[in-house]
Amino acid sequence: MEVPSFAEELKFQTNGAHAWSPFPSKHAPRSTMAGHKADAVTWADTGGWVTSSAYGAMPFIEHYAKAHPVKDDYGKTWTPRYPQFLLYDEKSTGSVPPEGWDLTFPHSFAARRSDVPDTAFYEQWASSPFSDTYLTKFAETLSIPSALVRVAASISWPSALAVDYVGHAFGPRSWEIQDILVRLDGDLADLFAHLDKKVGRGNYVVALSSDHGVVPTPEDMQKTGAYAGVFRLTEMQERMEKALNPSISQSQPSRNCH
């Protein structure tokens, strides 16, 4: 993207606003939202925080990550907060949960092959409400960094990655996505209360957006009577080649032997 991002334009028009994108998720949305001239960009990668040499170093991010390591959530168990109010079946048919999890609650965070967090744990953590809560606490510490006290404006991009991962894994009609949204609502309430106290109600703007939605699993749609199924590219390719083979054979030039 060669054009300025919203954050860059705000920074230009206010002659010094700080643009932050120091929150967990995939690197692509982090960098594109922050733009070329962000003060800090970082994202989660297998339990650690990484960035690019294109952006400046921000020691406070490293300090927070060391003081509050993701591995502190190792050994916890995710259970629904209000199971009596959840809709649809407890088991989300057709779901593909992270490695080590079943299709129903509870979901525990524990390595299968060792006594320490492994890659599977960090994938589970990213697909849980614990990652959104971590994000909220992180955002609260960055709402008014000391470096921003004297500037006119600042912008940050927190991203609730659990909604994305759980939506893909369990679908929109699952207990998991409902519990994620309930807990995210509480996390946002905590964040707004923090901003009201530190910045002052009416002195900040909050915009909520989503990069995409998610569809029910084909198996779940079939239960409702809808015509649905799974598109398997390899199978389709094999069927296409099988159908085309007779035509290809007939079009080949013949040889006359003398």
- pLDDT at position 47: 62
Higher pLDDT, 49 or 215: 215
Pair of tokens at residue 129: 């409400």
Residues 108-160 have pLDDT tens digits of 987 666 677 888 888 899 899 999 998 888 888 765 544 433 334 566 666 77
Rg of the chain in Å (alpha carbons): 24
Q: pLDDT tens-digit profile of 63-112?
A: 888 898 888 999 899 999 999 999 999 998 899 999 899 999 999 987 66
Q: How far apart are CA 241 and CA 247, in angstroms?
A: 10
Query: What are the percentages of helix, strand and coil residues in the chain, rounded to 5?
Result: 45, 10, 45
Q: Show the tokens assigned to 145.
A: 């960094």
Q: Residue 190 has which token pair?
A: 């905590």
Mean pLDDT of 156-168: 82
Q: Which CATH number fits domain 6-228: 3.40.720.10, 3.30.70.2470, 1.20.190.20, 3.30.70.3040?
A: 3.40.720.10
Report pLDDT for 63. 83
The whole model's pTM is what?
A: 0.80
The mean predicted confidence, pLDDT, of the chain is: 81
Domain positions in the chain = 6-228
**The pLDDT of residue 186:** 95
Residues 88, 93, 94, 97, CA torsion sign: positive
What integer pLDDT is reported at residue 253 of this predicted model? 61
Structure confidence by residue, pLDDT tens digits, 15-50: 766 655 545 455 556 577 777 777 777 777 766 677
Q: What is the mean pLDDT of residues 183-191?
A: 94
DSSP state of 245: H
Predicted pLDDT at 239? 93
What is the helix (H) or strand (E) element at residue 77, kind and residue range? strand 77-78
pLDDT of residue 222: 93
Q: Is the pLDDT of residue 200 over 80?
A: yes
Looking at the DSSP bridge assignments, the partners of residue 18 are: 154
Identify the residue whose tokens are 């035509």. Answer: 247
